[in-house]
Structure 1
């Protein structure tokens, strides 16, 4: 009886530690929450790359994935569900960085660290992995001025900014204005809820009606989805020529527009590096590590100071640099970019200048 009692007591500490996969320190569940399919990159690049990097760094770990469909309420429910089911750490790209604050506080209270991915959410996040947003805006503005040529001094620019609910939108805009201010006139500036093509089309149509297409010398569109709406608005207005238009995310459709001469540039953010950095931080936190050991800098959110962060370097891509960036890195092949060439048309070239 004494032996049985002792054996029973010895099991108590082990059982008490099994809440979040603690009985297997090298194997635990990582929750991955992405905002939705509005941007092609989430499903095409981020999700598979993060899952791959997590598997490489923690072969016994399991990934639980949820797509919010751009609905913050749905994402809050997904986070609560994951916390209840015992995930050890969360990787979160918030559909709304303010609306998810209470859920991040809930995770913190439950002892589940949250790594903010790509955009910085409010609340007690443990780490942040993204690209330097100010650098993104500067790359867009510098490329736009180059494409505008003589009109880079005193020309008229329309700014198609991102979703006002995202801190990244303000980050990009600030970087762009640091280059454009004092050089060009900002004829119109719009926020674009949802970063959507449709909203960008509506806003650009309004700018064209107010300014006339021939008086718009360039458009700084914050991402590729909005660039598509901008270009479609000019075509819908039967503009004789397209002004240079910027973008971001290196979406395949955008790269195709670039080699056709419709869109001037995009910003390529090497997704593999971002996925590797967030996987490293998540696995470290899941094993009880300190995110400061992996961080290269620290940033502040409206609620939290000195968040350990990794801010990576984005790259500008134009028609002349598609091969040495996107193709060289294996993001796309030339066949994917060019597709079948209709009879009578010249072959697709990723080195053709913008026209």
Structure 2
């Protein structure tokens, strides 16, 4: 009888493992991104997530949706993937405040939510994976300040600040980091702007107005990402300002890297989205297995993993971007940028 009971117990455990494995193999995971203003989601985030999911759970179904900056559309997409039976939703919210309701709905149905890139402060998700957004803001501001100081720009000179979307909690963290970096400097903020939907044309329009308002008093621009930074650069060029004051960025987009090579943008942040995407996939698969992923830190009462990015300028673009094979010269050093690549040692 003792052996029979032991056999039955072992069989029950084995069935439990089989059920867990079966549930994992049959699972649907949703990857919901916020907008198409940045090319990163289609070019880096989703491919990175899908590739890692393929390695970890080849038979899992991955559903990708992009809300194109529309919070209402993202809500529809969220409801749709829940209805499709998604067990884990990786969510980069259009509106961080509105996303609190998404988390509540999902958790009431036993669905796990991984906040991705942008946190959800009002309602803790099951996990949060991102680069350190406040650290990004601080790093780009500090880098610009050091550059201005080294260039001999006088204390008390003016800087413009272009933040990200007011509905994006990550943009708020970047803004906080920028404020901290500028507060530590001897420079003053002439004006700042929260860019709706991170839209470069809106950043450009605002920057154009500030150029008219402040003119040569603008000695630099801290822009929260490459899109808003590119908008500012376009505004200076349209106004005939030469040279363009140093402008920051974030995301290391192809366009921004080319602007750094040409001397029109001062810095960006290299944060290969594939790193965060792969981490999110690993957390998702752990959740599918019924495991609780161990947090590296906590943010907004949410277990989190935050990666540290690198600041990229013309001085280290070869080492950070090309030597690490994040981009290739064939992708970047085309047309008018070929000569700049030679000067920086990227190409021969």
TM-score under structure 2 length normalisation: 0.88
Corresponding position of 2:342: 349
- Counterpart secondary structure, 1:91: strand
Note the C-alpha offset of 1:347. 5.6
Corresponding position of 1:5: none
**Residue correspondence of structure 1 range 103-122 to structure 2 within 5 A:** 103-121=102-120, 122=122
1:108·1:124 contact (CA, 8 Å) conserved in 2? no
Change (3 A) 1:153 1:336: same
1:322·1:350 contact (CA, 8 Å) conserved in 2? no
Corresponding position of 2:12: none
Aligned partners of 2:306, 2:340: CA distance in 1, in Å? 38
Aligned partners of 2:309, 2:234: CA distance in 1, in Å? 26
Q: Does residue 125 in structure 1 map to residue 128 in structure 2?
A: no
Aligned partners of 1:126, 1:65: CA distance in 2, in Å? 20
2:139·2:181 contact (CA, 8 Å) conserved in 1? no
Change (3 A) 1:276 1:341: same
1:341·1:348 contact (CA, 8 Å) conserved in 2? no
Give CA deviations for 1:155-188 in whole Å, capped at 9, x if unaligned: 2100011111111122112112212115101111
Q: Does residue 329 in structure 1 map to residue 324 in structure 2?
A: yes
2:23·2:288 contact (CA, 8 Å) conserved in 1? no
Corresponding position of 1:171: 173
Aligned partners of 1:288, 1:189: CA distance in 2, in Å? 45
Note the C-alpha offset of 1:81. 1.1
Q: Does residue 188 in structure 1 map to residue 191 in structure 2?
A: yes
Note the C-alpha offset of 1:58. 1.5
Corresponding position of 2:204: 201
- Counterpart secondary structure, 1:114: strand
- Counterpart secondary structure, 2:189: strand
Corresponding position of 1:252: 254
**Residue correspondence of structure 1 range 23-102 to structure 2 within 5 A:** 23-102=22-101
Corresponding position of 1:140: 140
- Counterpart secondary structure, 1:59: coil
- Structure 2 stretches of 5 or more lacking a match? 1-14
Out of 145-154 and 162-171, give the one that drifted further. Answer: 145-154
1:223·1:247 contact (CA, 8 Å) conserved in 2? yes
Corresponding position of 1:315: 310
TM-score under structure 1 length normalisation: 0.87
Note the C-alpha offset of 1:349. 3.3
Give CA deviations for 1:213-248 in whole Å, capped at 9, x if unaligned: x21110001100011110111111111221000000
Alignment root-mean-square deviation, CA: 2.0
- Counterpart secondary structure, 1:290: coil
Aligned partners of 1:277, 1:346: CA distance in 2, in Å? 38
Change (3 A) 1:127 1:107: same
Aligned partners of 2:340, 2:136: CA distance in 1, in Å? 31
Note the C-alpha offset of 1:200. 0.6
1:321·1:350 contact (CA, 8 Å) conserved in 2? no
Change (3 A) 1:347 1:338: same
- Structure 1 stretches of 5 or more lacking a match? 1-13
Corresponding position of 1:6: none
Match of 2:241 among 239, 242, 249: 239
Note the C-alpha offset of 1:261. 0.3
1:105·1:124 contact (CA, 8 Å) conserved in 2? no
1:128·1:310 contact (CA, 8 Å) conserved in 2? yes
2:48·2:275 contact (CA, 8 Å) conserved in 1? no
Corresponding position of 1:298: 298
1:26·1:61 contact (CA, 8 Å) conserved in 2? yes
Aligned partners of 1:83, 1:200: CA distance in 2, in Å? 35
